[in-house]
Structure 1
């Protein structure tokens, strides 16, 4: 099974991934990374590893591990 890994320091808080996630597994709860951007948080129980977040992210925040 694949696993989603996030590099939150790359996140700029654009929200493209949150909008793309049909499972509502991603959110932006207001936590900031070291650069001051609102980071994305994943709910692994809701995530079905479809890869939409990976495809939509312009900053390569997501990595899909085998």
Structure 2
């Protein structure tokens, strides 16, 4: 069951995708749309929890790895 959720600021994200690589539950994906800077930002996949997967645990690894401070983690 999902215990958390994240919000990624599309315009702050430069598309390094470290959050995608380090998310233990694979709740983050690369967007198919570019932001105003020309990068493909990361985006949260909330549908993971609906498919019977663990979903976001609120572990904060993504926010810790983000060099742009573009990720906010919410638990609860």
Shorter-chain-normalised TM-score: which range?
0.7 to 0.9
Aligned to 1:7: 9
Q: Secondary structure at the match of 1:24?
A: coil
Alpha-carbon distance change, 29 to 2 in structure 1, aligned in 2, over 3 angstroms: closer
Q: Does structure 1 residue 49 correspond to structure 2 residue 58?
A: yes
Let me know the Cα RMSD of the aligned residues.
1.6
- TM-score, normalised by the number of residues in structure 1: 0.84
Higher radius of gyration, 1 or 2: 2
Q: Secondary structure at the match of 2:11?
A: helix
Deviation at residue 41 of structure 1 after TM alignment: 1.1
Q: Give the 4+ runs in structure 1 shifted more than 2 A.
A: none
Q: Secondary structure at the match of 1:30?
A: coil
* Count of matched residue positions in the alignment of Structure 1 and Structure 2: 66
